[in-house]
Structure 1
């Protein structure tokens, strides 16, 4: 039996209303949880890139990518393993301001985790951390005993180590 692995699915598409709903429906039908989702502008004008992280078998991932590519607005979809991509997530931690000065350990946590303070107010300060999910989780656990007022983490963003053929594909469409 094939083992479950983490896959990053990259979907290049026109930016149309309702596509996200249809894509999420493909996962829902197969009872596959989306671990992370990010939608952004891509390297190509007027083309959006969905970055979807799933934990399943390669066979299921291949089937899902095939279903996604059947959507009219989808130009091309790819999937990669973690070894084939460079990826990270971003997180923001909101902490009470008095802790920044009263708890010396907080400054050490910020420094040791290669994170940045992005704003300071009389009531709170905000720390920004970029990295792998495990690094963000580790920092969360270190800050938790001091009290986290708010926490948010982005979905994965990634680029493939190999060249993506999407630009060449689009040039062919335009000819």
Structure 2
């Protein structure tokens, strides 16, 4: 079996130390986490971890089994890229004078469907949401002008198919 990217969705109680225990499951197997995001989920009082890893399907099945054994974990799932709709977001901070002196920067912003979030005398900030490849392309295009700061979020994803967990938890809460 060959490695591929998987998006892992973990529905949990919101408890201290859980992130550490979940990341240790990957660490013990020497698996690098490509992306990690935690947030509220569609279910009140339930948090959701979205983790991206590169591994074989056999490995991911074992990992999901280990994650599911954690007391605070309600349910863990894994998904292939073709089964999800996903995005990342990023922010670029660039010197303000370039915005007005370099027409090419304005074209890059427009063509990449990025947007200017703020502008002041010293710098301006661009926000871009999209696939990792789109963000990496924008980074390469802007880096020739000098990037003062850059940050990118982890992947956020929803599945194309319905997640059974919502019905399961609604029935449990009634």
TM-score, reference length from structure 1? 0.98
Structure 1 segment 1-175 matched on structure 2, within 5 A: 2-175=1-174
Cα separation, 1, equivalents of 2:173 and 2:99 = 55
Deviations 1:71-97 (A, max 9, x none): 000000110000000001000000000
Residue 171 of structure 1: CA displacement?
Answer: 2.5
Deviations 1:25-63 (A, max 9, x none): 000000000000000000000100000000000111111
| Partner SS, residue 36 of structure 2 | strand
Deviations 1:105-130 (A, max 9, x none): 00000000000000001000000000
| Partner SS, residue 75 of structure 2 | strand
Which runs of at least 4 in structure 1 moved beyond 3 Å after TM superposition?
none
**What are structure 1's unaligned runs of at least 5 residues?**
none
Cα separation, 1, equivalents of 2:168 and 2:34 = 29
Alignment RMSD (CA, Å): 0.7
TM-score, reference length from structure 2? 0.99
Residue 174 of structure 1: CA displacement?
Answer: 2.7
Equivalent pairs, count:
174
| Partner SS, residue 26 of structure 1 | helix
Residue 168 of structure 1: CA displacement?
Answer: 1.3
Cα separation, 2, equivalents of 1:66 and 1:133 = 28
| Partner SS, residue 146 of structure 1 | coil
